[in-house]
Amino acid sequence: MKHVRVIKRICFFIAGMVSFSVMAAPPNSSSVLADDPAAERADVTLVIHSGFEPDTVYANRYLKGADHSVSGDASNWDRLNPKLDRCVFRTLITGTGDIDIIPDPENPENRAMKFEILSHNGLKGRAQGAFKFRAEEPVEVVCFIYRWYIPEEWRAIADIPEEHGWNDFFEIWSKKLPEAECDVFDKAGSFRVNFQFLENPDVEGQFGWEMRGENKSYDTAVGPARWRRYNWNAPVPFGQWSTINGFLVKGDDPETNPLSKARVFVRIKPDGGEWRTLFDVSDERTEHSHRPQSGYNSFAIFKNYTQAKNVDYLLSQGKRIYFLYDDVRLRVGRLP
């Protein structure tokens, strides 16, 4: 029976403690990360630079300590210093999942972070990690660059015979935070920019990218989407390491405010390949439409989040639902 072609999405975040003896080994992830344009920006500060090596030391006061391999704990960084002076790192697992710092299968002397979904909770499966900033020092400019491995197993979502929902891999939130707390936020007045890769509904087997800006209201988890963008011209680099690089600048509607600096830029470069721009959007709002916040405060760089039926299908086909990360750099700042 011919399958109905539908949009299928995917997410990216960290997975954990699973033996790599039963997992296809990705190519070597180099610990040298080049082409980092934000390194020259004077308006941003390096928050974290970690290759997940045993002797890695965080860049400055925001996150302190050396990397240590996770062994059952939700977050190695919180284990070092659970209440940091400006930023906390939080992980979230929905269903069951694993988060771990593991040796690179192709280069055991190199280490990478892994996020994996093992089961769902009946609705969704998730293994993710996010940096959360306190309200007294809001962020208006976010710059990120890191290495990302997308296993070949993810291609199997093209074979799912029924319509299904989201597969998110990255998001940045502007949330209304009461009393400078990082873990509680108002259910209204929040906004996120969300990313996913997905199958082209018009071309069987072709994968591309989606980015969307979404409000959050009192009675919905997210939505409605204020805007969406698609890119079918940059292939999703399954089965290899790539470098993701980009930035996001807070701003309101450029049509009503000509001085708005709103912009989102994201690009990707597979190892051995060239940079491909995924999105460069400067004509959309990047904050809540009617309750603008003072800045961004949650950065889910590591996100692996998908619907329950997708988890069931991939696991039934013997697929592992994970991503690997290495050489993560996050910079934040304020607008002039």
If residue 78 lies in a helix (H) or strand (E), which one and from where to where? helix 76-80
- pLDDT tens column, 236-276: 999 999 999 999 888 777 777 776 788 899 999 999 999 99
Omega before 224 within 30 of 0, i.e. cis: yes
CA distance 197 to 154: 10
Q: What is the pTM of this model?
A: 0.77
Q: Where are the domains of the chain?
A: 8-333
**Domain 8-333 in CATH 2.60.120.200:** yes
Across residues 23-37, what is the average pLDDT? 46
- pLDDT tens column, 218-235: 555 556 678 899 999 999
State the sign of the Cα–Cα–Cα–Cα dihedral 72, 78, 81, 82: negative
User: By C-alpha distance, which of 332, 19, 23 is closest to 149?
Assistant: 23
- pLDDT tens column, 110-121: 888 888 999 999
- pLDDT tens column, 124-133: 998 888 877 7
Averaged pLDDT of the chain = 72
